[in-house]
């Protein structure tokens, strides 16, 4: 159960409280973030004219694989003042979570950084920070498109 955060100090007023998503387990945030980010990427690819399932899947991996997400997260962290302190905290919550599964095609460090990336996306989505989440996703799309031919 997600703790509630009081908005106006009145404990009995259910309409004036919201869930405090910042307290949610990093893996739960990543679970949501994985689905949200992949949905945006799928929408983008179809909008770009990709229609064949094999083509969609192959192209999507450039954006949604653990390797791609790890690359994007490192790029975000490298840009000065790009992420807020709270966003970095949500990334670290996912990255530092103890997962009992691992990626099929990535080492543990890459997998953990990718989990942090998904955790950040999940947090922004659940906290209804859609504009910021979409800003980051558009940045990711541009970054991947600019480096698609590179060997990562």
Tokens representing 126 are 């659940």
Q: Are 40 and 64 in contact (CB under 8 A)?
A: no
Beta carbons within 8 Å of 49's beta carbon, 6+ residues apart: none
Query: Which residue of the set 8, 12, 34, 149 is catalytic?
Result: 34
Q: Are 36 and 120 in contact (CB under 8 A)?
A: no
Catalytic residue status for 34: yes
Give the active site residues.
34
């Amino acid at each position: 159960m997600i703790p509630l955060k009081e908005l106006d100090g009145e404990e009995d007023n259910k309409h004036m409280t919201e869930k405090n998503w910042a307290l949610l387990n990093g893996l739960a945030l990543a679970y949501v973030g994985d689905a949200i980010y992949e949905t945006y990427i799928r929408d983008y690819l179809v909008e770009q004219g990709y229609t064949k399932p094999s083509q969609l899947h192959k192209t999507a991996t450039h954006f949604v694989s653990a390797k791609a997400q790890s690359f994007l997260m490192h790029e975000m962290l490298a840009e000065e003042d790009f992420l807020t302190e709270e966003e970095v905290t949500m990334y670290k919550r996912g990255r530092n979570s103890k997962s009992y599964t691992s990626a099929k095609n990535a080492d543990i460090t890459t997998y953990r950084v990718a989990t942090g990336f998904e955790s950040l996306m999940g947090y922004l989505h659940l906290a209804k920070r859609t504009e910021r989440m979409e800003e980051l996703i558009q940045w990711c799309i541009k970054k991947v498109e600019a480096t698609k031919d590179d060997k990562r």
